[in-house]
Amino acid sequence: MRRLRFALKRHRAVLISLAAILLLSGILTMFSFGSPQALSVSGEITNWGLSFQEEGQPPIGNVSQDALGKYNALFCTQEREKVLYITFDAGFENGNTEKILDALQKHGVKATFFLVGNYFETQPELVKRMVADGHLVGNHTYSHPDMSKIADEKSFEEELRKNEELYREITGKEMPKLYRPPQGKFCESNLEMAKKLGYHTVFWSLAYVDWYENDQPTREEAFSKLLPRIHPGAIVLLHSTSKTNGEILDELLTHWEEDGYQFGDLSEFLLKR
């Protein structure tokens, strides 16, 4: 009986030791990518997130810029000068893009439009105008899936390659190697695969809830988010499907200009890195 109790105690001690090792391993995995929320294993979802600490200053991302930089990824250019970068995500067209392009043209702003496959297939003339106006057209994937759940390189590449082919058919040019994960969902292996394909992954350092077509923010609600949170080196995410954005963009750009901001070109910034 005494031998049995001793064996049980020894077995329990082994189990406790194994549990401690597994727990420590999990903690190290969570922190290996630069943030407690940043998971490093393929297939584990990380939702891009920001914490604004001080008005007029860059927010803190749930993955540091240094960690992202290892994969040619960024969310803020970290410039001290008052330069910001305007980007739009577009999955479909609902009549607001022309107004947005007109406002950008009026202010001489070169933006980046991250488009999905549906947009290329249904709006080739708008894509042509974007390029003719000097804007960059980036890759928002062909079918807008949760890319963090795609673990094999072939499937990941296919989502980007289809858009490259559509862009080439429409413009006769090669697509800029700029990629934005749909919904900001990603994992470390995604960033590695994008880098291997020659892409820069572009997140953002300023956005607001503008994507619900039937629940658009008011002008006042938009300005309450977009004006006080602007900061040097900001990468601003807007949606071209937003009626509010179409209505306020001219005024918004004017406000930022009056605050001393200039508008940068992402491709030019990346060439300097």
H or E element: which one contains 168?
Answer: helix 153-171
Catalytic residue among 89, 135, 140, 210: 89
Task: Report angle CA 98, 103, 104 to the nearest 5 degrees.
Answer: 95
**Tokens encoding 231:** 């900061």
Beta-carbon contacts of residue 45 (< 8 Å; ≥ 6 apart)? 39, 146, 148, 149, 185, 187
**CA–CA distance, 260 with 133 (Å, rounded to integer):** 24
Instruction: Residue count of the chain, please give it.
Output: 273
Whether 135 is a known active-site residue: answer no
Q: Pick the catalytic residue: 135, 140, 200, 239? A: 239
* Pairwise CA distance, residues 42 & 266, whole Å: 28
The verdict on whether 239 is a catalytic residue reads: yes
Active-site residue set: 89, 239
